Structures are given as C-alpha cells and as structure tokens.
Chain A
C-alpha cells in the first residue's frame, strides 16, 4: 500500500514536471501558428542572442573574462561563443591595458570585424588608462581614443558578474536599435586618421568644361543624324500608308 502510494506520487511528480510542455502541445488548437513581429525586432532578437565576442585579452582583465568561458559563469547561455577570428566576431571586449604598441593591432582587429559591431571597454585601463593614466610613457589613455565604445565596464578587474551585467546591457541596447538609427554604422573621426584634402585647380575645371562642350557637340551631331534617319523612315512609312490606302480604294 505504502509502496503503491510512493510510486503513484513519483508518477505524479513526473507528470507535473512534464505538464506545461505536454499541455501546451495538446491544447494547441492551431499548430501552424503565426508570430506577429516587426522585421526590426526579429533581426534585433537574432543579433542580440548570438553576440559572438572576439577572443581578445592583453592582461589581468582577461583572467576574469576567461572564467566566463568556463562552466561556473557559463556565458554560452547568452549566446556568446568566443571567436578567434575578427571576421566572425560581433563584439570586442577590450580586456586589459592597451599600450601604444598594441594600439595599431587593436584598431586593425576592430576594422576587420563585420558591421554591426560593438565594443565593451572592460576595466579601468581601457576606460581612462587606470593606474597608468598619470605617469606612463606607453599606455593609451582609454580605448575610446582608438575605437568607438558602446559600454564602459569599470573595475580593476571587474568581476565576472559585472561582465555579464555589461553584456545584458549591451543586449538591451541591441534590442532597441532601429534601421533608421544608422548613425552608428557611419564611422566618425573617433580614431586617428589623416584627412586628405583634394583641391580642384581652376585649370582642371576649364578643361572639364571643354570636354563637356565636345561631348555636347558629338551628341548633337549624333542626334541630328538619327533624327534624319527617323524622318526618312517616317516618310517611307507614310508613302506605304498612302499606297495601301490607294489599294484599298
């Protein structure tokens, strides 16, 4: 009797745990259901749930970041799969101090990433230079001098929970994006580039005008010739028409 009851309870428990799934499947009146959403929201949802970070780290912040890859702070559940190639990454978490020697490589890595791309500046060193900000000859004072930063994540180094928090905030930011808001994709002058100033000289413009004149002449003559042909054919047709009319009569 007792044994029976326990077995019954056990069965019941299993039923309870399975219940939501089974009931939702069985009570579904329309299996070919429709989800109503905007294309914008749908693509945002797809992007935010597979933010692939670049496997990038230059010092102690990466130790904290690396612990996220492991099972304790498993960040695969946010769809973050660390990629070793910038071509496959959507997100770069700049973990660690960036020196003047590393700066060109970091900018190149960022530029090699496909649009839309996001940057999390992780740790004090990548926000302001951190403890190297006052008297260092080689530290870049903040990674935002090199690449545009979306999220600033303070700490020295930040805890893994803080990195997860930053990623959640980035997901919220991605979720709120619209296609109209494409100012992000236009690269501003955030990092150091040389401006090439091409000045048109007056001689160039005059020669351009001359060319234009020649062009117009050619086109006119061509047009005239075609017009002549056209009138000729028209006349012939008219003749033919007249002949036909005559025949009909």
Chain B
C-alpha cells in the first residue's frame, strides 16, 4: 500500500494481486482508489474460492458490502471492502473487491459463511438491486415490504403509480 504513494506511474498490480498471482488465483487488478486501496475485479464463479483465500491471507473483517448499477442496461456490481484487523493495528492492510454480474442473471455466491456480518448487507443489496446471493441463509427483502415488486435502485426501475398514496398535490 505504501509504495503506491511513491510511484505515480501506471502501476496497477498491488501486493495482494501479486500474492494471488503467485497462488494462481484468477483475478484482474483494477488499480487503486484515491486512498491507495488496492482494487480487484473477480468473476462471480471464482468468488467463493478466492474469498476463502482472502480470509486465509488475513482479511478477517468485512468493512462494508454494497452494490450499484453500473450503467443503464449494463452490469450490476457488488463491492466488498476487507481489512486485516489485529492487536495494535496501525494502518492495516485493506482491499476492495468488485464483482460484476449481468442484470439478466445476477448470481453471486454469498460470503455469509466466511464473514457473518455480510448477512444484512447482502440482504439489502438483494432488496435494492435484485442480486441473488447464493447460499445465503435467509435471502429476503429487508427494507421494502415482502410484497414489493421490482428492484428500486436499478436504473431501469419505474416507480409504480400508487393511487392517492403517492400523488403529491
């Protein structure tokens, strides 16, 4: 992480990417974000094995999980931020994982069984964008009513016209 501050050249492979390459784990480095956190893209079908590898590497803390719609008609993205937490941690190692899936069949294996805190986060991503997290123990809507139809945060979502409840006048 530190050497990213030193060289401003187009170096996009970080420390974790090198480690994954050494162990022949498929991934694609996406460079670094504005804080110098290494960003990796991982395919949905490889995600479960690489997630286990990351846990073994030492990323024991899921800082956040979120999802977004990349573009109208485009891919859906699920984003994970991991941190290595230990005693007396000072600037612990971080990583950002992005998984892109098609909006026709958005299926990503759930990391609930590795990081338990992914429970509600993945449920919210499912609720808002309709990404199916496979093997999640109770994947159902968390914010919207169970009877809701559609995925509100997708770009092609059309707000239903509710009689009298939604018309502001």
A145 close to B157 (CB less than 8 A): no
Is the CB–CB distance between B167 and A141 below 8 Å? yes
A100 and B145: CB pair below 8 A? yes
Contact indicator per residue, chain A 163-176, by CB within 8 Å of chain B (1) or not (0): 00000000000000
A147 within 8 A of B: no
B152 touches A145 (CB 8 A): no
Q: How many angstroms from the CA of A139 to the CA of B146 in the assembled complex?
A: 16
Q: Is B168 part of the binding interface, using a Cβ–Cβ cutoff of 8 Å?
A: yes
A143 to chain B, nearest CB (A): 11
Q: Does A100 contact B159, Cβ atoms closer than 8 Å?
A: no
Residue numbers in A under 8 Å from B159 (CB-CB): 135-137
B144 pairs with A141, CB closer than 8 A: no
Q: Does B71 contact A (CB under 8 A)?
A: no
Any A CB within 8 A of the CB of B166? yes
Closest Cβ–Cβ distance, residue A185 to chain B (whole Å): 23
* A142 to B168 alpha-carbon distance, docked (Å): 8
| Contact of A100 with B165 in the complex, beta carbons under 8 Å | yes
A149 at the interface (CB under 8 A from B): no
Say yes or no: is B164 at the interface (Cβ < 8 Å to chain A): yes
A129 touches B168 (CB 8 A): yes
Q: Is A179 an interface residue when CB atoms closer than 8 A count as contact?
A: no
Contact check, A133 vs B168: say whether CB atoms are below 8 A apart: yes
Interface size on B, residues (CB 8 A): 14
Closest to B167 in A: A141
Interface of B is mostly: loop
Min CB distance B124 to A, Å, is 14
Ranked 7 nearest A-B pairs via Cβ: A141-B168, A137-B152, A137-B159, A101-B145, A133-B168, A145-B165, A140-B165
Q: Which of A119-143 contact B (CB under 8 A)?
A: 128-129, 133, 135-138, 140-142
Q: Select A141's contact among B152, B157, B166, beta carbons within 8 Å.
A: B166
A117 to chain B minimum Cβ distance, whole angstroms, is: 21
Q: Which residue of B has the minimal Cβ distance to A191?
A: B164
Task: Give how many A residues have a beta carbon under 8 Å from the other chain's beta carbons.
Answer: 16
Chain B, residue nearest A136 (CB): B159
Chain B residues in the interface with A (C-beta under 8 A) = 143-145, 152, 157, 159-160, 162-168
Chain B residue numbers with a CB within 8 Å of A140 are: 165-166
Chain A interface residues toward B at CB < 8 A: 100-101, 103, 128-129, 133, 135-138, 140-142, 145-146, 192
CB–CB A138/B164 < 8 A: no
Contact of B152 among A101, A133, A138, A142 (CB under 8 A): A138
Chain B minimum-CB-distance residue to A135: B159
**A144 CB to nearest B CB, Å:** 10
In angstroms, how far is the closest chain B Cβ from the Cβ of A88?
A: 29
Task: Identify the closest chain B residue to A104 (Cβ).
Answer: B145
Smallest CB-CB separation from A102: which chain B residue? B145
Q: State in angstroms the CA–CA spacing of A65 and B160 once bound together.
A: 33
Q: What would 15 more interface pairs be, CB under 8 Å, given A137-B159, A138-B144?
A: A101-B143, A135-B159, A136-B159, A137-B157, A137-B160, A138-B152, A140-B166, A141-B165, A141-B166, A141-B167, A141-B168, A142-B168, A146-B165, A192-B163, A192-B165
Q: How far is the CA of A162 from the CA of B23 in the complex (A)?
A: 65
Specify the chain B residue showing the minimal Cβ separation from A128: B168
Shortest distance from the beta carbon of A20 to any chain B beta carbon, whole Å: 55
